[in-house]
Amino acid sequence: MTGFNRQTDYDYKEMRAAIIKWLEAKLKAESLEWLQSTGEKLADNPEDWFLYTSFSAVPRHTGKEELSFSDDELAEAESIRQNWTPIGWTAGQLGRVYLLLTFADAGEEEFLDKIEKIFLTSDMSEAVSLYKGIPLYPYQEKFKKRAAEGVRSNMTNVFNAVAHHNPFPAEYMDEGAYNQIVLKALFVESVLYKIVGLDERANETLANIMVEYAHERWSAGREVSPELWRPVGPFITEAYADDIQKVLDHPDKTHKQAAILALMSSDYSGKDDLLEPHQGLISEIEENNIGWDDIGKEVEKD
C-alpha cells in the first residue's frame, strides 16, 4: 500500500488532445503547425531517426519559456490525470511530451523500446522533459525503474523532474524509495512542498530519518530547512520534544512557524505545553491561514 490514491483509468489520448489545445492558445501559428504535422507523421510509426530528431528539435520551434495556465486548464489537467497539473512546465517540455504521446499509438513494445533509447541518449534538457513526462505516458507500471534512475541522478534538474509536481513517486514507489526522495531533496537543497503526496506518504521511518538528518546538520553547525518538520509532525513523541523546542527557539519566524505547524498536526500529549508560550504566533498562523506550502515558498526565496 502506498498510502496515496493511484489513478486506474488514465487515458493518454485524452491528455494528448488537452495538451495540443493548451498549446494552441499559447504558441504562434507556425509553431503549432509544426508540432501538429510532426505528430501526425509520428502517428504513422516512421523510422527511428525521425522520432529522435523531432523530439530534440521541439524547443527550437516552441521556445523554452515557462507557460502559465488558467484555473480551468489546471482543473482539466487534473481531471484527466489525477494528482497532476502542468505547473512549472515550459512550452518545449510540453511539446516534447505531446510528440511522445502521439508516437505511443505505435503500441506498447515499440513505444517502450524507443522511449528508453531516448532516455539513454538524452542531454539534460531532454532528460528533464522525459522524466517530467513519466506520469503522462501509457504503461505506467513499466516506468518504475526509469523513475528510480532519475531520483539517483546527480543533476538536480533531473532529480526535480521526478520529485516536483510529479505524482508518479507517490503512486508507484515503495516506502523506502519515497523516503529517499524526501531526504535527497533536503540534501540537494530542493524544496519539499512541491513533492506530491508528502503528507499522505509520511511515515514513522521517514520521521526518524528526518530527525537524524537534523541532528547531523546541527552537530556540524549547519542550518536545517524548516520544511524538514512537515513529515515529522504526525509522529512527534516525547523523544522529539527537545528537537521541536530547539526549532521553537529559533530566531527566524519561519522556523518557529514550522515547529508550530508540526506540533499542530501531532497527537503528542505534551504539545500544548510546548505551544503555550507561542499563542501570538499561533493566532497569526490561523488568521493568515499559513500552511506548509507557505513555509516552502519562504524557503525557496532564500
Q: Which amino acid is at 2?
A: T
Q: What is the pLDDT of residue 2?
A: 54
Q: Global pTM?
A: 0.95
Q: Per-residue pLDDT for the chain (302 aa), expressed as one digit of tens each?
A: 457 888 889 999 999 999 999 999 999 999 999 999 999 999 888 899 999 999 999 999 999 999 999 999 999 999 999 999 999 999 999 999 999 999 999 999 999 999 999 999 999 999 999 999 999 999 999 999 999 999 999 999 999 999 999 999 999 999 999 999 999 999 999 999 999 999 999 999 999 999 999 999 999 999 999 999 999 999 999 999 999 999 999 999 999 999 999 999 999 999 999 999 999 999 999 999 999 999 999 999 98
H-assigned helices in the chain: 12-24, 29-42, 48-62, 71-80, 91-103, 108-121, 124-132, 144-152, 156-163, 168-172, 175-187, 198-201, 204-219, 241-248, 253-264, 271-275, 279-287, 292-301
Cβ atoms within 10 Å of 204's Cβ, excluding its own: 13
Q: How far apart are CA 121 and CA 116, in angstroms?
A: 9
Give the model's pLDDT for residue 4: 87
Cell of 55: 523530439
pLDDT at 1: 40
Residue 60 in grid coordinates:
527550437
Residues 75 and 33: their CA atoms lie apart, in Å, by 26
